[in-house]
Amino acid sequence: MDKIVKINAEGVKYRQLNIKLRELTANGTGKIELHNICGQRYIGTDLEGAVEIEIFGTPGNDLGAFMDKPRITVHGNAQDGCGNTMNSGEIIIHGHAGDITGLAARGGRIFVRDDVGYRAGIHMKGYNDKKPTIVIGGTAQDFVGEYMAGGIMVLLGLTLSKGERHKACFIGTGMHGGVIYIRGDVDDYQLGKEVDRAELNNEDNELLESLVGEYVEYFNMNPKEIMSTRFTKLFPRWLRPYGRLYAY
């Protein structure tokens, strides 16, 4: 059932839009194109099944919040909270994404071609076979990977000009699980107290190659150029960063 349904979302409120999306997915529509999207929130929330949604325009906050299974491609920028508490599925953004991208995501994957705002990947957590993954082509603002409890965060820095460095501070503050890979260097002062750096091993390289491979496929870039620059791996120093905080 690979019927493609096109919707002109001009002037359509999110509630009506989501009702339409629910209807379409319930009757087995495989692919939906949303045109003229302009700020509608919650697109893809509460959709069941592996439907593919292509968005043309700028979706509003909480794109794919609580999402389970759908795959959303945005031809434009996403705003705040995209992939909020996501369980599974994919969000691919041909542009920038706002603050708290992937907040508290438990699973699923987010690929952002360009930059993201503050606190990307905050409180992502892995569980069993679920490993939330965020690949950011550009750079991120402060507190990226804050409170991370699991999952994978990759920053490629492709939007930085030659010699320019990532400017994010408090990277991985409070992190107690998962891993962050940053292409290029970051200084110690930019790191949260709870993270440490390590050399990449074979497993890391394989993982990065496959994630970068996917990234370049989505956004049509050259993988060799990306992989030729050194990556920094950040990991949580403690499983229990605040275990010694208390007096019993």
Contacts to another protein by CB under 8 A: 14-15, 18, 22, 41-42, 45-46, 48, 61-62, 65-66, 68, 80-81, 84-85, 87, 100, 103-104, 106, 119, 122-123, 125-127, 130, 147, 149-150, 174, 176-177, 239-248
CB of 183 to another protein, least distance (A): 25
Nearer Cβ to another protein, position 100 or 216?
100
Q: For residues 150 and 211, is the Cβ–Cβ distance under 8 A?
A: no
CB of 230 to another protein, least distance (A): 30
Its sign, for the CA torsion 173, 216, 130, 75, is positive
CB of 164 to another protein, least distance (A): 27
- Which of 127, 116, 131, 138 minimizes the C-alpha distance to 63? 116
Residue with tokens 């990556």: 231
Strands 149-155 and 177-183 come out as parallel
Nearer Cβ to another protein, position 166 or 176?
176
CA 160 to CA 137: how far, in whole Å?
A: 10
CB of 135 to another protein, least distance (A): 21
Nearer Cβ to another protein, position 13 or 230?
13
CB of 14 to another protein, least distance (A): 7
Q: Torsion-angle region of residue 119: left (phi > 0), alpha (psi -120 to 50) or beta?
A: left
Nearer Cβ to another protein, position 66 or 219?
66
3-class SS of residue 30: coil
CA 18 to CA 22: how far, in whole Å?
A: 6
CB of 99 to another protein, least distance (A): 8
Nearer Cβ to another protein, position 163 or 243?
243
**First CA to last CA across the chain, in angstroms?**
60
Backbone angles phi, psi at 90, to 5 degrees: -140, 140
Identify the burial level of 120 via C-beta atoms within 10 angstroms of its C-beta, where 0-12 means exposed, 13-18 middle and 19 or more buried: buried
Nearer Cβ to another protein, position 1 or 239?
239
